[in-house]
Structure 1
Amino acid sequence: MKEEKVPFATILFSGITFKVINRYEAHEIIGNLTDFKDQKIYNVFEDTWRFPDYEENPIFLLAEEDVEMESFEMDFSTEEHPDIFILGFIFKGNLNVTKLITSYDTDNSPALIVFGETTTVNITLFGGVHYLGGGLKCDVLTGEYNHGELFVKGDVTAWLIYSDDMWMHFERFTNVQSIINVNRPDVLICSNVTDTDGSVITVENYFPSTHKLSDIVNDDFIEYTSYGTEILGNNYLEVFAAGLSVIDHDKAEKYLYTDFRNQFIEMVQVLSKKSEGRIREKLSETEYQYVPFVYEGLNYSQISEEIGNGFNIQMRALWCHDNEEIMLILEYQDEERNPKYQWINNETAPGIEMYCVKAAATKAFEVLTAERGEDDNEEDEDNTEYADYDSSFSLQDFAIQFGNYAIPEDLVKLYEFQKEYGSETYSECFGLLMINDKTGIKTWSEEEEFYNSFIEFAGANGSGSSYAYWLIDDDLNNCPIVVFGDEGGIHVVAENIRKLIHLLTLDTEISVDFDYCYFYKDEEYYSENENKEEFHEWVKREFNLNAIESNEETEVIINEAKEKYKTKLNDFLTKFDIEIGEEEE
């Protein structure tokens, strides 16, 4: 690596004078910071994606004393010095920001590293690996997109911690009112548990959502995805920038679950009238159940949610009809579904662990009582996410979205496999969908020529991207597969459906950026799907293809498709004024 010299000793940023240091000096300060598994977080020399070594004048900015400022946006440069490239901001003391702390870009942003306590009203982070070493006090903390990651050591006080596809690791929650994961659990918390030999060990577990967004946030700042999922939207960042809160304190009855006892008893009564026995719904990798049973002579009813796909989290709320007691259980299980750790208490017990069980019971009740008849073409917004990934639709129903196009035989085979084993059970976050309108595609362009040139047919990842045929031929076997990114970007993925099926054998979801798309399996966090082996055997049997075992193999398939269709697709998109990413070759 070439020698990096600092262009000047100090710089003014957001009204604060920072010391300018180079990569080597930064390494001396942050190189030994560790996560909750004692693994080092930063390598400023080898991690050239987070800390590029190809930019001119790469620097870190260092504050050695406590800092107070009004707002803090972590830009890469300043108007006065546009030729510098800021890799990160390091605060050795406390950081107090009156209104808002925010990253610069979801794809990449300077790192925020604070050794003291961080205090602000709102903090929204993404695009980098961030570290808050002395705890955090705020109203709302949001994390967005899988290019970012956050580690917080010390005490955390917040009304809302909200993650939309970004890992967030916490040492402890001192006073946290709500945790909301937009899709899969992305928030992790350390817990002290007793091992089998009686020793106390610290473990890091994924933490399920404790509320719906509408339970705690002002309705004006809630939007809905095409799957019906509640997300922060409607210019909430303008409120953040003003130093105001999106929390609706008039919803205290909801976010404090003050009437949960009566509500839960009513849930049990409704479900017991619906069925005298078990009621079960499995949607994607989450299972919802109502189970009446007798234990030690007492009659119970249980409402539960169990999150699979490697998370193995079960949340159960039980009502004893005889003594009228409610029991709440949060349980983490091993791969054999045996209990590893449990939190058990009644409905009046304090602690955010019990909030997630109450949220699970409420969610399960909504799922188990939802009407889903064959003739129901319209779904409530709250239930859309369940219906979209339901594998119960017939091949005839699936074919409707293809119009006059014949469904390729390979896709029919995939439909039959999914029908037997279930959506999202054989390749991470992938599932065939019924999409009988062009609502999602129309968000790119409402010109008929554009949206009628694609047929969406599958969900591509957990954040809302989708796969579609690009209709360049009357025979879909000759039409490439593209991915529509939920955060932007339309890219060619595979030459045909068989090539896409081959990509799916890596068993990891596709990542879609504005500039490019890729598959990346991180072995440290990878959890095998339950029907992966059956899928691999099926692919070998039907197509004589061996399962893909490396990220590099997926690049070959994608690059082959790009060579044939990328230029043509970009020219087509440009016709409709759709911005094209600049992919590095």
Structure 2
Amino acid sequence: MINEEKVPFETLEFAGVTFKVINRHAAHDIIGNLTNFNDEKIYNVFEDTWRFPDYEENPIFLLAEDDVEMDSFEMDFSTEEHPDVFILGFIFKGNLAVKKLISSFDTDNSPALIVLGETTSVNITLFGSVHYLGGGVQCDALLGEYNHGELFVKGDVTAWLIYSDDMLMHFERFTDVQAIISANRPDILICSNVADENGAVMTIENYFPSTHKLSDIVHDSFIEISDYGTEILGNNYHEDAFKQGLSILDYEKTEKYMYTNFRDQFIEIINVLSEQEFIGKISKESEGNEYSFIPFEYQGKKYSQISEDIANGFNIRLRALWCHDTEEITLLLEYLHEDGNPKYQWANNETAPGIEMFCVKCAVIKAFEVLTAATSEEEDNDEDETEYAEYDSSFSLEDFSVQFGNYAIPEDLLKLYEFEQEFSAETYSQCFGLTITNEKTGIKTWSEKEEFYNSFIEFAGANGSGSSYAYWVIDNDLKNCPIVVFGDEGGIHVVAENTRKLIHLLTLDTEISVDFDSAYFFKDEEYYEENENKEEFQQWVKKEFNLDPIETNEGTEEIVNEAKAKYKKRLNDFLISFDIEIGEDEE
């Protein structure tokens, strides 16, 4: 039995509102039975995870039993008056109306927002916990950010823009929504009622593809281009718009976000693609999706089809068909079985009201851009240099050398380059591959001071989530420089004294785990799957360096600890000099 926590006081004022202070048990009575759209319970306030930790002193929930109106609501774990409490979540039994902004605390961790009534605001941005809006929502923009967060919304949704950047967002229904945008893969889900073969109606939850690009609806001043060439929200939107209660939307872009000229645009797209010299189908892949243009005949009529197939487990196909004989346009959104046959299908013409067919129109325009993009060898190489998220072993040694500037590539790394050219990245050690990273974009996120980012040379991907290996340039000869890992979720750690030591670590055939406090290798034998060229790599390492393969996690610890003993303090002092926080394990 879990001991019931005492509350430090009865009420607490936050953002000008007096809340009732309650403990976990009282919060459980209110939110413990809230469910997602699969009838699974959402909250377990006793779970003792990063969401609801029990290691903090004075953990509390704040409860508003009546309707609440606020000017701005930016969640935090405590207040200036009571810095000793730890707010696990804010619970509103009634409606929540906020004039300017509702915002979570931090992308990694935030108090949970639970509203049982209706939620209204100009701008809402949520992350860092699992949030629940049970009575619907009205706003201009609703944003979800980063995979430490998740959102469930029940009831009517009225919003100009719903935008997700790597955060799952679940909705019961879109009542009046203008634009749905996922920055990368589909992360926004909507419930739909469909009939089975016997006519029984069931509710299913499907990923909803993007209906627009950001530039179709957001003011240009709030848009930036990512390292991968995609449109993202710039860092200025929060201070310049959200905190002021202003909209980031550009209401003068009606033609774009309403697709008012889509028919003429689609006919022009068909004409351009029809004039291309080809035999049969035009098809290209981009970012894992397939884009196609297919002319065909059906029942004596001539058609042209443009499509986008979203793979990677989503199995979504978006198609637009032009009948040359009747001049009719048909738009189709399909969710597919694994064998490629339709599971659910929505079809309509281009004049159909509502947002449902906007995603197909968006796919048509994206497909046209991909299918008509230049594909010269020189442009392909330029794309590889900027979009280096996926490993590609096809680059030349000359291209690989550019990132090293005036420094000579260590001989051991040259040998590894030659091995990888023969066997390919990620085939000999889990999630490892040499990369070209010329712009130091990732390192500059830590500090934009030239002295800092020029002290590192990235050269390889370290794991499947985006961490990278780099030389810490403390000597003119890189063979005397240690290897550090930059964690994709924080943390800069020494892992090897030199290139050869890193190559030895790779023989364990498992990716490095990196967090803010530490970096380590851990092979879980229960789930381990051997890389196809592991044996060839281990034999090569033995032949070239006379090193036996590492077979245990403890073997990697010895190498990492040796490097830490030699360089950790020096690296920490260097990082601190640039105001970069170090982890507890690194102090």
**TM-score tier after normalising by the smaller chain length:** 0.7 to 0.9
Shift of 1:27: 0.8
Shift of 1:220: 0.8
Shift of 1:296: 2.3
Residue equivalent to 1:496: 502
Cα shift readout 1:208-255 (whole Å, capped 9, x = no counterpart): 111110100001111122222211124211211111111100001000
Correspondence 1:64 to 2:65: yes
Residue equivalent to 2:200: 199
Structure 2 counterpart of 1:327, from 330, 350, 362:
330
Change (3 A) 1:439 1:65: closer
Range 9-18 or range 470-479, more displaced? 470-479
Question: Conserved in 2, the CA contact under 8 Å of 1:401 and 1:455?
Answer: no
Q: Following the alignment from structure 1 to structure 2, what is the Cα–Cα distance between the partners of residues 513 and 418?
A: 27
Question: Conserved in 2, the CA contact under 8 Å of 1:389 and 1:432?
Answer: no
Q: Following the alignment from structure 2 to structure 1, what is the Cα–Cα distance between the partners of residues 86 and 13?
A: 14
Change (3 A) 1:536 1:476: farther
Residue equivalent to 1:365: 368
Which structure 2 residue ranges, 5 or more long, are not aligned? Answer: 540-550
SS of equivalent residue, structure 2 residue 378: coil
Question: Conserved in 2, the CA contact under 8 Å of 1:67 and 1:95?
Answer: yes
Question: Conserved in 1, the CA contact under 8 Å of 2:462 and 2:469?
Answer: no
Shift of 1:204: 1.3
Correspondence 1:139 to 2:140: yes
Q: Following the alignment from structure 1 to structure 2, what is the Cα–Cα distance between the partners of residues 268 and 195?
A: 35
Cα shift readout 1:545-580 (whole Å, capped 9, x = no counterpart): xxxxxxxx9998986675344525743742651513
Q: Following the alignment from structure 2 to structure 1, what is the Cα–Cα distance between the partners of residues 484 and 503?
A: 7
Change (3 A) 1:351 1:459: farther
Give the 5 Å matches for 1:480-559. 480=483, 482-485=485-488, 489-491=491-493, 496=502, 499=505, 536-539=531-534, 542-543=537-538
Structure 2 counterpart of 1:263, from 250, 265, 268:
265
Structure 2 counterpart of 1:347, from 350, 355, 362:
350
Residue equivalent to 2:243: 241
Question: Conserved in 2, the CA contact under 8 Å of 1:188 and 1:204?
Answer: yes
Structure 2 counterpart of 1:454, from 433, 454, 457:
457
Shift of 1:50: 0.7
Cα shift readout 1:373-417 (whole Å, capped 9, x = no counterpart): 22348969xx99768759595444653346432545555555555
Correspondence 1:13 to 2:25: no
Shift of 1:329: 1.3
Residue equivalent to 2:547: none
Question: Conserved in 2, the CA contact under 8 Å of 1:408 and 1:476?
Answer: no
Q: Following the alignment from structure 2 to structure 1, what is the Cα–Cα distance between the partners of residues 231 and 449?
A: 24
Give the 5 Å matches for 1:304-315. 304-315=307-318
Question: Conserved in 1, the CA contact under 8 Å of 2:469 and 2:486?
Answer: yes
Q: Following the alignment from structure 2 to structure 1, what is the Cα–Cα distance between the partners of residues 282 and 173?
A: 36
Q: How big is the alpha-carbon RMSD for the aligned residues of Structure 1 and Structure 2? A: 3.7
Structure 2 counterpart of 1:438, from 437, 440, 447:
440
Change (3 A) 1:498 1:568: same
Residue equivalent to 1:127: 128
Shift of 1:461: 5.9
Change (3 A) 1:287 1:518: farther
Question: Conserved in 2, the CA contact under 8 Å of 1:301 and 1:320?
Answer: yes
SS of equivalent residue, structure 2 residue 71: strand
SS of equivalent residue, structure 2 residue 266: helix
Question: Conserved in 1, the CA contact under 8 Å of 2:388 and 2:437?
Answer: no
SS of equivalent residue, structure 1 residue 109: coil
TM-score (norm 2): 0.84
Give the 5 Å matches for 1:79-158. 79-158=80-159
Residue equivalent to 1:225: 226
Question: Conserved in 2, the CA contact under 8 Å of 1:89 and 1:110?
Answer: yes
Shift of 1:336: 2.3
Question: Conserved in 2, the CA contact under 8 Å of 1:483 and 1:492?
Answer: no
Question: Which residue type is aligned with residue 251 of structure 2?
Answer: H
Q: Following the alignment from structure 1 to structure 2, what is the Cα–Cα distance between the partners of residues 72 and 583?
A: 32
Shift of 1:448: 5.2
Correspondence 1:582 to 2:580: no
Question: Conserved in 2, the CA contact under 8 Å of 1:152 and 1:170?
Answer: yes
Residue equivalent to 1:550: none
Q: Following the alignment from structure 2 to structure 1, what is the Cα–Cα distance between the partners of residues 453 and 482?
A: 15
Q: Following the alignment from structure 1 to structure 2, what is the Cα–Cα distance between the partners of residues 361 and 53?
A: 50
Q: Following the alignment from structure 1 to structure 2, what is the Cα–Cα distance between the partners of residues 2 and 75?
A: 26
SS of equivalent residue, structure 2 residue 275: helix
Q: Following the alignment from structure 1 to structure 2, what is the Cα–Cα distance between the partners of residues 74 and 557?
A: 45
Correspondence 1:283 to 2:286: yes
Q: Following the alignment from structure 2 to structure 1, what is the Cα–Cα distance between the partners of residues 507 and 220?
A: 41
Which structure 1 residue ranges, 5 or more long, are not aligned? Answer: 522-527, 545-552
Task: Compare relative contact order (CA 8 Å, sep 6+) and give the higher one, 1 or 2.
Answer: 1
Question: Which residue type is aligned with residue 563 of structure 1?
Answer: N
Shift of 1:540: 5.8
Q: Following the alignment from structure 2 to structure 1, what is the Cα–Cα distance between the partners of residues 360 and 416?
A: 42
Question: Conserved in 2, the CA contact under 8 Å of 1:228 and 1:384?
Answer: no
Change (3 A) 1:498 1:332: farther
Structure 2 counterpart of 1:272, from 268, 271, 274:
274
Question: Conserved in 2, the CA contact under 8 Å of 1:493 and 1:558?
Answer: no
Q: Following the alignment from structure 2 to structure 1, what is the Cα–Cα distance between the partners of residues 415 and 457?
A: 19
Q: Following the alignment from structure 2 to structure 1, what is the Cα–Cα distance between the partners of residues 22 and 37?
A: 27
SS of equivalent residue, structure 1 residue 204: strand
Range 403-412 or range 264-273, more displaced? 403-412
Q: Following the alignment from structure 1 to structure 2, what is the Cα–Cα distance between the partners of residues 40 and 18?
A: 25
SS of equivalent residue, structure 2 residue 371: helix
Change (3 A) 1:331 1:168: same
Question: Conserved in 1, the CA contact under 8 Å of 2:102 and 2:121?
Answer: yes
Correspondence 1:54 to 2:55: yes
Residue equivalent to 1:294: 297
SS of equivalent residue, structure 2 residue 62: strand
Question: Conserved in 2, the CA contact under 8 Å of 1:19 and 1:61?
Answer: yes
Question: Conserved in 1, the CA contact under 8 Å of 2:283 and 2:293?
Answer: yes
Please identify the structure whose Cα radius of gyration is greater: 2
Question: Aligned pair count?
Answer: 554
SS of equivalent residue, structure 1 residue 364: helix
Cα shift readout 1:354-385 (whole Å, capped 9, x = no counterpart): 111111111111112111322348969xx997
Give the 5 Å matches for 1:416-435. 433-435=435-437
Correspondence 1:171 to 2:172: yes
Range 566-575 or range 355-364, more displaced? 566-575
Change (3 A) 1:389 1:54: closer
Question: Conserved in 2, the CA contact under 8 Å of 1:450 and 1:576?
Answer: no
Q: Following the alignment from structure 1 to structure 2, what is the Cα–Cα distance between the partners of residues 215 and 94?
A: 32
Residue equivalent to 2:543: none
Q: Following the alignment from structure 2 to structure 1, what is the Cα–Cα distance between the partners of residues 73 and 21?
A: 17
TM-score (norm 1): 0.84
Q: Following the alignment from structure 1 to structure 2, what is the Cα–Cα distance between the partners of residues 260 and 376?
A: 30
Q: Following the alignment from structure 2 to structure 1, what is the Cα–Cα distance between the partners of residues 238 and 481?
A: 44
Change (3 A) 1:28 1:388: closer
Question: Which residue type is aligned with residue 401 of structure 2?
Answer: I
Residue equivalent to 1:525: none
Change (3 A) 1:136 1:565: farther
Question: Conserved in 1, the CA contact under 8 Å of 2:304 and 2:323?
Answer: yes
Q: Following the alignment from structure 1 to structure 2, what is the Cα–Cα distance between the partners of residues 37 and 520?
A: 34
SS of equivalent residue, structure 1 residue 353: coil
Question: Which residue type is aligned with residue 188 of structure 1?
Answer: L
Shift of 1:155: 0.9
